[in-house]
């Protein structure tokens, strides 16, 4: 088996780590800090690399735990969620006359905000499956859920997005 190298095997995961952290914290600065912390921790635990079967899932698991700790300790979190929800309601549910149809760019932005509005576990699963293209077993591993639970959460998330798309 080829030896794992930080620059070739760990560092290239940085953007995936960043996007997962961003999806959980919904804050670019916090997500970047979490990404750095995740990769430093992965480096510090390099003695374990030879035993790791799936480096991507391992690194993303570290990232998710750090991101969850971050939002639990962030006193501003509830206020931020409230701001996002309020903004979301004002954009997506505002009655639009034919003349005020949102153009495609705005509609895409509205979907992104809708995803941001989902509960954390649903946002995380959408991120890992639909953005990063991970298998269900990998997502179950990272989120510490069963594959069935992962599919249930993903189904709820997609259903909510679908309802909003067909309604707007």
Partner 1 sequence: MDYKYIEQLLERYWECQTTLEEEAILRKFFSQEDIPASLLPYRDIFLAEEDMIAEHLSEDFDKKLMARIESSQETESAQVVSISWAQRLAPFYRAAAVVAIVLSIGMAAQQGFESHRGDAQPQLTEVSSEGDTLQLFTDMPEALPKTEAVLTVPATDSLIVQ
- Residues in contact with partner 1 by CB under 8 A are 6, 11, 14-15, 18-19, 22, 32, 35-36, 39-40, 43-44, 104, 107-112, 115, 127, 130-131, 133, 135, 151, 154-155, 158-159, 161-162, 165-166, 168
CB-CB contact of 25 with 66 (8 Å): no
User: Minimum CB separation from partner 1 for residue 48, in Å?
Assistant: 16
Toward partner 1, which CB reaches closer, 15 or 69? 15
- Tokens representing 23 are 């999806």
- Give the span between the Cα atoms of 8 and 153, in whole angstroms: 33
Name which of 8, 121, 23 is nearest 55 in CA terms.
8
CB-CB contact of 6 with 43 (8 Å): yes
Toward partner 1, which CB reaches closer, 22 or 142? 22
- Give the span between the Cα atoms of 36 and 107, in whole angstroms: 33
Toward partner 1, which CB reaches closer, 48 or 109? 109
User: Minimum CB separation from partner 1 for residue 75, in Å?
Assistant: 25
């Amino acid at each position: 088996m080829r030896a794992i190298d930080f620059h070739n095997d760990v560092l290239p995961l940085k953007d995936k780590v960043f996007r997962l952290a961003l999806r959980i914290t919904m804050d670019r600065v916090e997500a970047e800090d979490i990404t750095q912390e995740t990769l430093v921790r992965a480096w510090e635990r390099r003695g374990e690399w030879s035993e790791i079967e799936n480096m991507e899932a391992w690194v993303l698991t570290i990232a998710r735990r750090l991101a969850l700790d971050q939002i639990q300790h962030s006193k501003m979190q509830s206020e931020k969620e409230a701001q996002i929800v309020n903004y979301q309601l004002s954009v997506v549910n505002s009655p639009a006359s034919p003349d005020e149809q949102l153009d495609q760019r705005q509609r895409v932005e509205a979907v992104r905000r809708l995803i941001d509005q989902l509960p954390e576990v649903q946002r995380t699963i959408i991120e890992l499956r639909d953005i990063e293209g991970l298998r269900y077993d990998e997502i179950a591993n990272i989120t510490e859920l069963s594959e069935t639970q992962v599919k249930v959460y993903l189904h709820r998330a997609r259903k909510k997005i679908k309802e909003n798309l067909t309604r707007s």
